[in-house]
A and B are shown apart, each in its own frame.
Chain A
Amino acid sequence: MNFMDESSALRILAALLARGGEFAEIYCQANQYTRIILDDGKLEEILSGEDSGVSMRLVSSDRTFFYSGNSLDVETLVSEATRLAQALEGGGKPGSLATLRPSEVPPVSPIRIAPGTIDLGRKVELVRRAEKAARAAHPSVVQFSASYGDSTLSIAIINSEGVFSRETRVYSTLFGSAIAREGEQIRTGYHSLAETKGFELFEEHPPEEVGKEAARIAMVQLAAKPAPAGTFTVVLSSKAGGTMVHEACGHGLEGDFAEKSLSIYAGKLGQQVASELITVVDDGTLPNKRGSTGMDDEGIPSSRVLLIEKGVLKSYLHSRRTARKLGHSPTGNGRRESYRHLPIPRMRNTMILSGKTPPGEILSSVKDGVFVCQMGGGEVDIASGNFIFNVGEAYRIRDGRIAEPIRDATLIGNGPEVLSSIDAVGSDLGFGVGTCGKDGQRVPVADAQPTLRIPKIVVGGTIAPTD
């Protein structure tokens, strides 16, 4: 998608910088998407449309002036740009403007079948197939809902440093949630597929996978006993994905928190913040992973950022702004939910790299503990590092073996304390997918970790030891 030609872009940038300023930018977006929702046995809702708009930003002495609107009309944008520039004190000379270098960012994730070429009927079929598989899995599965989503997001980023980069990102997702019921007991299980990939995702992973897995987890939950409350040794399976790394350290390493010394990890570059077994990276270049992009939403090429190496803090995740404030280089982590938002430092695909211990050995080393196979959403308090995340599928460990399933557990801990205490890191690696929320902006992410042993962490459950 072209959005605008060079001369129009230069006019707008010149209007932004007319009264001074160090940096000006135009961000154009057209997001064509389809969402299909099946619930209660019915194809309930289909949403399809194109969300398009433009934002402009002017940076002067670390102050950002921002406008966003629906109109792509150049004259409207020039007059809004002029209005933005009025915010500056004036009297200064116009900010400098480099020659634009138009380029198309090569896709980091190859797309074989563009979602736009598939008719609605075939997309609808996916959620129906997922449902059929879930309901066939067990008679106790009484309810199932599924949602299909695809998004073809075209963006153009044009700035006063000469960047004029276009990229198209394609997202495909299928989410299923099964409810199993026996008597008064009602339990939910869910599973999702989400990648930066076209419709071929569903050739590689048939939708039945989503239905069956959601149903399996709901059935495990039905058989599960309420989780114990107290402090336990916890083994996080690699199958559980990386919610822990996302909450326990990822957010705390985002440059906006570090720059204002708000995070528990601020000012600790070069210091030991985790066990020597722990190496953490954030990588935006992994083909087809949900957090991958060719460039970030400020036109900085994507890369792999080494955050923690053998427990030592090496880098933060930066947007242009936070990198400038701390005198570091941008890391390609400036992301935004849409043209409506300012870019802020965000994770992409965040992972703890594999260690050396066979995962089976980690499990068998625990006499009495909890084995976590699926993690749900989480939350972290940046300043203290205290985090919580909820656990989907989990089991008690007794004498080194997986014992009875447990439900409704949460893990409650402190980021640096937990990362420093990890005493076994598996030789495996498993990915999870999610949508991360921060400051009201939601962006697609993935995370990964090997099997990990945490010797002591608070498990929030309902069965008190005194019960």
Chain B
Amino acid sequence: MAGGEHDKILDLALAALTKAPVDGGEIYYQDTHETSASVVDQRIESVEAKQERGLGLRVFRGGRVGFSFTPDATAQGIAKALERAVAILPHVDPEPELKVPVAEPTTFNLKNEDPHLSAVSVDQKVDMARRIESCALRFSSRVKRVRDSRYSDVWGGCWVANTEGLRAGYTMSRAFGSIELVAIDKEESQTGYSAGFALGIDDLEPDAIGIEAASRAINKLGGESVTTRRTEVVLDPEVVAGVFGTLASAFYADNVIKRKSLFQGLLGQSVARANLTLIDDGRIPGALNTGPVDGEGTPTRRTTLIDQGILNSYLHDDYTARKMKAQRTGSAQRGGYLASPHIGTNTLLLRSTGINRKTLLGMVAKGIYVSEVMGLHTIDPISGDFSLGAVGWEMENGSMLRPVQKMGISGNVRDLLNALAAVADDLRFFASGNSGSTVLLEGISISGS
């Protein structure tokens, strides 16, 4: 993008804000490009290019906030959005702690983009999608069909400024590779999916993505039912990433304030077995959600949520930090210019209990390895109850005995956190934005036939 264009737009909006009948305000400006190339049977299915450019405006008056947005970054467009945001103010209830966030200096030296990404040609993108597919197909003759083998990327920037003098922002880029395929054996079909990401196209690993998706599908073939029982369970890193990603909202301070969190009132108390340490980090080099500031311009940081089993912190934006007299954690997230900021995670990760995956698996005399789950959205972040569908392996003495499917795993997250016996040192970052490691749980109830 042209140098300084975002500054001109922020200036234009700030000028309008200072004349509006409000105490103060904030502008968020997004200018991003997304492209993708999709291939099936080595043939191009689609080539896409999307441009997202627009601003989101928050106005503050007497503890009330109004939000609106516009793709039209001209003075007229901004004036219209501002009018809509101001019109909202009389209708919302005030919260004295809702104020324009105050600036906090920060330094950020992590490499967060590949400057060459915007110049990658369509042919290079198509070629990457083709390589992922051919790796998957070469892996096994049982991989019969590919739904979508895809390269995609995003680059651009987002900036935030407010009437308290805050001005921050950054540019970033990420490239993704993914494939969804089907393995077939006799009458049975099973799907496999895998995705990877990096700052630029050159750092993607098409072989690893293709092979992982293929093996995921193949490993599910021939899955049998399990018998209903209580057993030791090993969770795959991707399952762990999904489970903690869903559980994350229980750490959001706004949910705690509204008494809608499992962890409400438990700061300083034990919420998990002492070997569990859970961290949120906005500054992991190359992670999906890494940047110097959050959606309100607050510097990102590393926050220990659970420290050796003890609940240590919630995740805060500017408002909840004021309200709960806590430190801001740089957790205000935006879903683009159309959405107002809300608390969310940067990257969640579990600290290893100092054991490798092989040793962890060896600890299981008889148990179930869960490689995929369905229905993660059924985890209730208030009560902690969950009930998931799962596929995986029956395990004996550390090795995979036979594939199993149509399992149900149910329980309560509180019990699950206390059932955690070991965390391996194989931490992986997934394209979903979450990370996970292999985890061993004791005494989990499994439903089957």
A residues adjacent to B (C-beta < 8 A):
36, 39-40, 42-53, 62-71, 84, 87, 120-121, 124, 142-143, 145, 179, 185-188, 227, 229-231, 256-257, 260-262, 264, 340, 342, 376-379, 381-384, 386-390, 407-410, 412-414, 458-462, 464-467
Cross-chain contact A461 with B189 (CB below 8 angstroms): no
Q: Which residues of chain B come closer than 8 Å to A143, judged between CB atoms?
A: 258-260
Partner of A64, one of B47, B259, B412: B47
Interface string of B415-449 (1 = CB under 8 A from A): 00000000000000000000000000000011111
Collect the chain A residues with CB atoms within 8 Å of residue B84's CB: 48-49
Please state if A384 and B189 are interface contacts (CB–CB under 8 Å): yes
Interface presence of B325 (CB below 8 A): no
Of chain B, the residue at the smallest CB distance from A230 is: B228
Chain A residue numbers with a CB within 8 Å of B52 are: 70, 340
Quick one: closest A residue to B49, CB to CB? A67
Which of B95, B182, B377 sits near A377, CB closer than 8 Å? B377
B217's nearest neighbour on chain A, judged by CB, is A383
Instruction: Tell me if B383 and A229 are in contact (CB < 8 A).
Output: no
Is B299 located at the chain interface by the 8 A CB criterion?
no
Asked if B260 and A179 sit within 8 Å, CB to CB, the answer is yes
- Which B37-78 residues have a C-beta within 8 angstroms of A? 40, 43-54, 65-72
Asked whether, in the complex, the Cβ of A383 is within 8 Å of the Cβ of B383, the reply is no
Given known contacts A43-B91, A384-B188, A458 and B374 CB-to-CB distance under 8 angstroms: no
CB distance from A381 to the nearest CB of B (A): 6
Q: Is the CB–CB distance between A462 and B228 below 8 Å?
A: no
CB-based contact A460/B409 at 8 Å = yes
Residues of chain A within 8 A (CB-CB) of B446 are 229
A273 smallest CB distance to B (angstroms): 14
B99: A residues at CB distance < 8 A: none
Q: Is the CB of B43 within 8 A of A390?
A: no
Tell whether, in the assembled complex, residue B189 and residue A410 are in contact, meaning their CB atoms are under 8 Å apart: no
Segment at the A interface, from B103-111, B161-169, B270-278, B384-392: B384-392
Q: How many residues of B contact A (CB 8 A)?
A: 76
Bound Cα distance A244, B416 (Å): 29
Residues of A with C-beta under 8 A to B340: 45, 47
Q: Are A42 and B93 in contact (CB under 8 A)?
A: yes
Given A142-B259, A410-B375, A410-B410, are A53 and B182 also a contact pair (CB < 8 Å)? Answer: no
Beta-carbon contacts under 8 Å, B175-191 to A: 182, 188-191
Give B256-285 as 1s and 0s: 1 = Cβ < 8 Å from A's Cβ atoms: 011110000000000000000000000000
B248 on the A face (CB < 8 A)? no
Cβ–Cβ contact A390 & B387, under 8 A:
yes
The residues of B that contact A377 with a CB separation of less than 8 Å are: 375, 377-378
Instruction: Say whether chain A's binding surface is mostly helix, strand, loop, or mixed.
Output: strand
Q: With a CB–CB cut-off of 8 A, which chain B residues contact A47? A: 67-68, 339-340
Contacts of A376 in B (CB 8 A): 378
Chain B residue with Cβ nearest A55: B50
Residue of B nearest to A391 (CB): B387
The 29 listed contacts between A and B (C-beta, < 8 Å) are A42-B95, A46-B91, A63-B46, A64-B47, A67-B49, A68-B49, A70-B53, A70-B72, A71-B71, A84-B49, A121-B91, A124-B91, A230-B447, A342-B48, A377-B375, A378-B375, A386-B391, A388-B375, A389-B375, A408-B410, A410-B378, A410-B410, A459-B408, A461-B447, A462-B410, A462-B445, A466-B228, A466-B229, A467-B445
Residue from A87, A145, A260, A388 in contact with B147 in the complex, judged by beta carbons closer than 8 Å: A260
Q: A179-B260, A377-B378 are in contact. Are A66 and B385 (CB under 8 A)?
A: no
Which A residues are in CB contact (< 8 Å) with B191?
262, 381-384
Task: Enumerate chain A residues within 8 angstroms of B47, measured Cβ to Cβ.
Answer: 63-66, 87
Tell whether B230 is near chain A: CB-to-CB under 8 Å: yes
Bound-state CA distance A464–B93 (Å) is: 47
Which residue of chain B lies nearest to A53 when distances are taken between CB atoms in the complex? B71
Closest to B44 in A: A63
Apart from the given pairs A45-B67, A460-B388, 10 other A-B contacts in the complex at a CB distance below 8 Å = A44-B93, A47-B67, A186-B382, A257-B147, A261-B145, A381-B190, A384-B191, A388-B388, A408-B410, A460-B409
Query: Given the complex, which residues of A lie within 8 Å of B51, measured CB to CB?
Result: 68-70
B102: chain A residues within 8 A (beta carbon): none
For A84, what are the chain B residues with a Cβ–Cβ distance below 8 Å? 49
Determine the distance from Cα of A202 to Cα of B388 in the docked complex, in whole angstroms.
36
User: Which residues of chain A come closer than 8 Å to B122, judged between CB atoms?
Assistant: 87
Identify B257's interface contact among A40, A53, A68, A460, CB under 8 A: A40
Which residues of chain A come closer than 8 Å to B220, judged between CB atoms? Answer: 384
A49 touches B69 (CB 8 A): yes
A188-B71 contact given A179-B260, A409-B387, CB 8 Å threshold:
no
Distance of B366 from chain A, by nearest CB (Å): 15
- In order of increasing CB-CB distance, the 6 nearest A-B pairs are A460-B408, A388-B389, A229-B447, A70-B71, A383-B189, A40-B258
Q: Are A260 and B145 in contact, CB atoms less than 8 angstroms apart?
A: yes
Q: Residue on A with the closest CB to B338? A: A51
Residues of B within 8 A of A185 (CB): 383
Whether B405 lies near A464 (C-beta < 8 A) is: no
Q: For residue B45, which residues in chain A have a CB less than 8 angstroms away from its CB?
A: 62-64
Known: A408-B410, A466-B229. A458 touches B91 (CB 8 A): no
Q: How far is the CB of B177 from chain A (nearest CB, A)?
A: 16
The distance from the CB of B434 to the nearest CB of chain A, in whole angstroms, is 16
Q: Are A120 and B87 in contact (CB under 8 A)?
A: yes
Contact B449 A458 (CB under 8 A): yes
Chain B residue with the shortest CB-CB distance to A465: B228
Q: Which residue of B lies closest to A58 (CB)?
A: B47
